[in-house]
Structure 1
Amino acid sequence: MNFTQRMRGIVQTIAIVLSLAVPVMFAVSAADARIGGGGSSGSRGSRTFSAPPSTSTAPNAAQPFNRTMTQPGSPGMGTAAGAGAAKGGFFNRPGMGMLGGLAAGFLGAGLLGMLFGGGMFGGLGGLSSIFGLILQIGLIIIVVKLAMNWWQRRNATASAYAGPSGTGPTAGPTTGAGPLASFRSGSGFGLGSGSAPLEIGPSDYEAFERLLGEIQAAWSNEDVNKLHTLATPEMVSYFTEDLAKNKAEGDVNKVSDVKLLQGDLAEAWREGDTDYASVAMRFSLVDKTVERTTGRLVAGSEQPIEATEVWTFVRPRGASWELSAIQQA
């Protein structure tokens, strides 16, 4: 009987895991073929292993990089960023210390108890006291509160908005003729957090929008030389790898009608003589893959789709902006 109950618990746990994993598997298998392949690639300087703040354009946390040449603790990486990435996980966040380790242990033991049919607190018999139950509940409450406080602090800096209206210091940038057209129409870039230490002006937003279109066009034309003028060598290496894969499969990805619908600044900062800007962008495009020889449609369609991504741009002093990272939002 106990064995049957345990097996039932294991089956239920596997079913829950599969119910969460299958949608992700479908999302990956159906990933758009546009530049970047629907993944997250590149580097954000010392903030490579820190998620950019959320914005109204991209309210969800950006995905961590699955392709990056930046290593935790490498030169140029901030100590906090490198250490945080090396530790990883919520229970290893600064300030958690021994409490985090204890809480993780109790939670792990409780989850194992659920898995094998003993209940969340099935192992309390060995403690011979109700004190064990109180201790576990107390630790779980503390962990939940710490998680909520951390989440609130993380989102406190994400008061960005995009749209045609605004007052005070967060109002949209203006030119001599009034607000930029993109703000008047409610599309294009709005301003993100007003606390960015690096000033990002109208000309910068225009450069970001231009790069969005030019990079997609160069990708569609398989123009690697052009990509070298628009993106960092790291990003071009990923694009070249993806293009080679398409060629090996006899396909070509065609992207057209790229239009920025909404965008705002997630964060901007300076490291030495290099400027960085992470920008959330929601855009529409026609994304299709065809056979290289026959032109037969393999994936995608002629109908526009929408995508939301966080693009990070880098600009050495005296140079122009280049794409240095793409993250899915």
Structure 2
Amino acid sequence: MNFSQHRRGIVRAIAVVMSLALPLVIAISSADARIGGGGSSGSRGTRTFSAPPSTTTAPGTAQPFNRTFAQPGSPGAPAATGGFFNRPGMGMLGGLAAGFLGAGLLGMLFGGGMFSGLGGLSSILGLMLQIGLIIIVVRLAMSWWQRRHAPASAYAGPAPGAAASPGAQPSFRSGMGFGLGSGSAPLEILPADYEAFELLLGEIQAAWSNEDIAKLHTLATPEMVSYFSKDLEENKARNQVNKVSGTKLLQGDLAEAWREGDTDFASVAMRFSLVDQTLDRTSGRLVAGSEQPTEVTEVWTFLRARGGNWELSAIQQTS
């Protein structure tokens, strides 16, 4: 009887852990396909650690970077204390999470924890469950905290229904699918710039699909090319290739534009469709993705040296 109860307890513990882990695995596998790995990568100059303003195209919050060369101590960035749970603004929550994790470790070492009555194996499973719950809670809390404290830009366009300021250039939608915002931004973005952004969207997707690193070097910053190269190498190690086709901009608008020294920056929210397929490199068999177009909304940041061409500097997912 005791053995049967013990076995059922272990099965229940495994089921709980798998139910928590499976959605994360599915989300990661589906997000890893397209260019940038479905994450937030790159740098936005001194604004790397501040979220770009929301727009009509991307009304949510742009996710913070999980891959960046920028340092948190740089001008305009909040100081970070380091460590997994010590994200900016997460001191109290980080301490609680670390405390729970420490308690879980002690529970495993001394036979306690959430499943203390089931023996050593179930103690480990209990620890895994606790860690999974902690990660989920911390991520939800971080997302809430970032939305609550996302800095408002003085140059963001007026909210829907708000009256336009006197003398402001009325918004209009260009032939490229971009909505050109008010003329009050410190750096004026012209129709030719939006045309360049749309062209870069298509060319970068095509170069990624063709695994053309040399071409990517002409379209993106060295930082972004380093991430793309790493992702392409990982695809090759899995004997897979990610093919993207039919990229079409559906809607886009400017989040913010600014100048730092001799460098211009523009963060643009873009909603576009594309056919995203991951294929087995040998057989051509579809591994992930679909033959049907899917829609993606991301914030792309471009930079250019004074008088130079625009290059992709960052990609951020939206929530």
Structure 2-normalised TM-score? 0.68
Alignment of 1:195-210 (within 5 A): 195-210=184-199
Equivalent residues of 2:43, 2:313 under 8 A apart: yes
Instruction: State which of 212, 218, 226 in structure 2 corresponds to 1:229.
Output: 218
Please report how far the alpha carbon of residue 317 of structure 1 lies from its aligned counterpart in structure 2 after TM superposition: 1.1
Cα displacement string for residues 237-278 of structure 1 (whole angstroms, at most 9, x for unaligned residues) = 111111111111111110000000111111111110000111
Please report how far the alpha carbon of residue 291 of structure 1 lies from its aligned counterpart in structure 2 after TM superposition: 1.3
Task: Using the aligned pairs only, state the percent identity.
Answer: 66
Provide the residue aligned with 1:154 in structure 2.
152
User: Is 1:294 aligned to 2:283, yes or no?
Assistant: yes
CA RMSD of aligned residues (A): 3.5
Provide the residue aligned with 1:309 in structure 2.
298
- Pick which of 17-26 and 202-211 moved more: 17-26
Which one-letter code corresponds to 2:265 in the other structure? Y
| 3-state SS, counterpart of residue 77 of structure 2 | helix
Alignment of 1:39-54 (within 5 A): 39-54=39-54
Change in CA separation of 1:91 and 1:258 when aligned onto 2, cut-off 3 Å: closer
Provide the residue aligned with 1:212 in structure 2.
201
Alignment of 1:2-81 (within 5 A): 23-73=23-73, 77-78=74-75, 80-81=76-77
Equivalent residues of 2:273, 2:296 under 8 A apart: yes
User: Is 1:181 aligned to 2:168, yes or no?
Assistant: no
Change in CA separation of 1:18 and 1:328 when aligned onto 2, cut-off 3 Å: farther
CA distance in 2, matches of 1:161, 1:261: 21
CA distance in 2, matches of 1:206, 1:213: 11
Please report how far the alpha carbon of residue 154 of structure 1 lies from its aligned counterpart in structure 2 after TM superposition: 2.8
Change in CA separation of 1:218 and 1:306 when aligned onto 2, cut-off 3 Å: same
CA distance in 1, matches of 2:24, 2:156: 26
Change in CA separation of 1:56 and 1:257 when aligned onto 2, cut-off 3 Å: same
Cα displacement string for residues 166-193 of structure 1 (whole angstroms, at most 9, x for unaligned residues) = 99735246xxxxx7324xxxxx111346
Equivalent residues of 1:290, 1:297 under 8 A apart: yes
Gaps of 5+ in 2: 1-15, 101-144
Change in CA separation of 1:91 and 1:214 when aligned onto 2, cut-off 3 Å: closer
Please report how far the alpha carbon of residue 155 of structure 1 lies from its aligned counterpart in structure 2 after TM superposition: 7.5
Please report how far the alpha carbon of residue 25 of structure 1 lies from its aligned counterpart in structure 2 after TM superposition: 4.7
Alignment of 1:236-315 (within 5 A): 236-315=225-304
Please report how far the alpha carbon of residue 83 of structure 1 lies from its aligned counterpart in structure 2 after TM superposition: 2.8
Gaps of 5+ in 1: 1-14, 93-103, 113-146, 174-178, 183-187
User: Is 1:90 aligned to 2:89, yes or no?
Assistant: yes
Please report how far the alpha carbon of residue 293 of structure 1 lies from its aligned counterpart in structure 2 after TM superposition: 1.8
CA distance in 2, matches of 1:90, 1:50: 13
Equivalent residues of 2:72, 2:78 under 8 A apart: yes
Equivalent residues of 1:32, 1:287 under 8 A apart: no
User: Is 1:171 aligned to 2:170, yes or no?
Assistant: yes
Equivalent residues of 1:54, 1:155 under 8 A apart: no
CA distance in 2, matches of 1:84, 1:224: 34
Please report how far the alpha carbon of residue 153 of structure 1 lies from its aligned counterpart in structure 2 after TM superposition: 6.4
Stretches of 4+ moved more than 3 A in 1? 17-26, 84-92, 147-153, 155-162, 192-195
CA distance in 1, matches of 2:192, 2:81: 34
Alignment of 1:123-138 (within 5 A): none
Please report how far the alpha carbon of residue 22 of structure 1 lies from its aligned counterpart in structure 2 after TM superposition: 6.3
CA distance in 2, matches of 1:153, 1:54: 10
| 3-state SS, counterpart of residue 38 of structure 2 | coil
CA distance in 2, matches of 1:20, 1:156: 41
CA distance in 1, matches of 2:199, 2:61: 25
Please report how far the alpha carbon of residue 289 of structure 1 lies from its aligned counterpart in structure 2 after TM superposition: 0.8
- Pick which of 206-215 and 53-62 moved more: 53-62
**How many pairs are equivalent?**
252
CA distance in 1, matches of 2:182, 2:20: 33
Equivalent residues of 1:160, 1:264 under 8 A apart: no
Equivalent residues of 2:51, 2:150 under 8 A apart: no
Which one-letter code corresponds to 1:294 in the other structure? S
- Pick which of 233-242 and 148-157 moved more: 148-157
Change in CA separation of 1:25 and 1:50 when aligned onto 2, cut-off 3 Å: farther
Change in CA separation of 1:20 and 1:272 when aligned onto 2, cut-off 3 Å: farther
